[in-house]
Amino acid sequence: MRIGILGCGAIARNHVAALRATAGVEVFAVADTVPRRAHAFAAEYGIPHAYADAEPMLARGLDAVTVCTPHGAHEAGVLAAARHGVHVLCEKPIALDVAQANRMIAAAGAAGIRLGVIFQRRFWPAAARIRAAIDDGRLGPPICGGVVARFNRDADYYAEPWRGSRATEGGGVLMTQAIHHIDLLQWYMGRARRVTGRCATLVHQGLIDVEDTAGALVEFASGAIATVQAGTTFRPGRGARVWVADAAGRVAGVTEFPEGVGSAGPVPEGSGDLPLAAVHEHLAPFHAMQVADFVAALREDREPAVTGRDAVRSLEIVEAVYTSSRTGTTVVLE
């Protein structure tokens, strides 16, 4: 199976490793709008073809492409793949906003291609066990839950021009970091119905035009209630926790500490800060599991573990927090 990679930045390195760990897959081509990045990446990894655009790469007759571009370019990448009839695995968040995401899902459906979205924290054993416990009844349907995500991001991180900008990143800590944990929360709790939230830029003013601090109340279709607290202002970062509880009072949770490492334990005190390359290295095995699932889904002609429709759910919550914060109202999701 010939697979291409669109966008040759930090996370694309995980994609190369994951694809190469999957039997029968060849990383056939890469493309990046900065051509020297595409060529350097291809040379470093011994990838046969490098392009400056998605179109010529997709025209080479790929079976699938993975989209590793900044958020604002996800839609164009997925629509291009759909035009070429090429299956696509897109990085999180699926898009800048729900309208874009819905266009991507519709285009994939019309073209008959599979659309998967990376949320590799679902493959942490501690996270998967909670979903399995709900499925087999050891944990009842959650009636309450929450996300606490306390990360550290600084000027070096935001030096990459697309980061920290509403136009190209779509949001801040909710859109880029806590969306992983919000995805887990809604995976356990079901469809969100009403969202009340507040966002602010309290530390990184002048550096970013998106939120570094957010709080939200999320009410689910089931009647369950959860809270979300997230920030990129913690020095050092303190990791993250997602928890749910059922009507019998049983509690289950997954901890991320240090960043990139998932476990069932409580959040320890102490520095959780690792260089981002090390965070990505910790996440690599779970990235690989999701990539392997995507390839298996193509071979077995089934949906991947996380579809476009699954991925839009966390984005709906994030977008609703932004709308609620802007308007001072509670947002009701359809």
Ligand X SMILES: NC(=O)c1ccc[n+]([C@@H]2O[C@H](COP(=O)([O-])OP(=O)(O)OC[C@H]3O[C@@H](n4cnc5c(N)ncnc54)[C@H](O)[C@@H]3O)[C@@H](O)[C@H]2O)c1
Query: Which stretches of the chain bind ligand X, using CB under 6 A?
Result: 6-12, 31-34, 37, 54, 68-71, 73, 91-92, 118, 120, 160, 176, 283
CB 173, min distance to ligand X, A: 12
What does the buried/exposed string (b/e) look like for 208-229 if buried means 16 or more CB atoms within 10 Å of the residue's CB? bebbbbbbbbbbbeeebbbebe
CB 280, min distance to ligand X, A: 6
When the beta carbons of 70 and 231 are compared against ligand X, the nearer one is: 70
> Distance between CA 234 and CA 256 in Å, rounded?
15
When the beta carbons of 168 and 227 are compared against ligand X, the nearer one is: 168
> Distance between CA 196 and CA 78 in Å, rounded?
31
Residue pair 172/201 in contact (Cβ under 8 Å)? The answer is yes
When the beta carbons of 79 and 331 are compared against ligand X, the nearer one is: 79
Spatial CA neighbour of 323 closest among 331, 312, 315, 311:
331
When the beta carbons of 91 and 211 are compared against ligand X, the nearer one is: 91
- DSSP helix/strand/coil, 129: helix
When the beta carbons of 171 and 253 are compared against ligand X, the nearer one is: 171
> Distance between CA 307 and CA 94 in Å, rounded?
10
CB 245, min distance to ligand X, A: 27
> Distance between CA 204 and CA 188 in Å, rounded?
32
- One-letter amino acid of 234: F
Query: CA separation (Å) from 4 to 46, 70, 238?
Result: 13, 17, 36
When the beta carbons of 6 and 29 are compared against ligand X, the nearer one is: 6
CB 68, min distance to ligand X, A: 5
Query: What's the burial of 267, exposed, middle or buried (CB within 10 Å: 0-12/13-18/19+)?
Result: middle
Q: In the complex, which residue's CB is closest to ligand X? A: 9
CB 179, min distance to ligand X, A: 8
- One-letter amino acid of 186: Q
Query: What residues pair up with 197 in beta bridges, in sequence order?
Result: 216
When the beta carbons of 134 and 311 are compared against ligand X, the nearer one is: 311
- List, in order, residues 6 or more apart from 137 with CB less than 8 Å away: none
CB 41, min distance to ligand X, A: 8
| Two structure tokens written together for 273 | 């800060």
CB 143, min distance to ligand X, A: 30
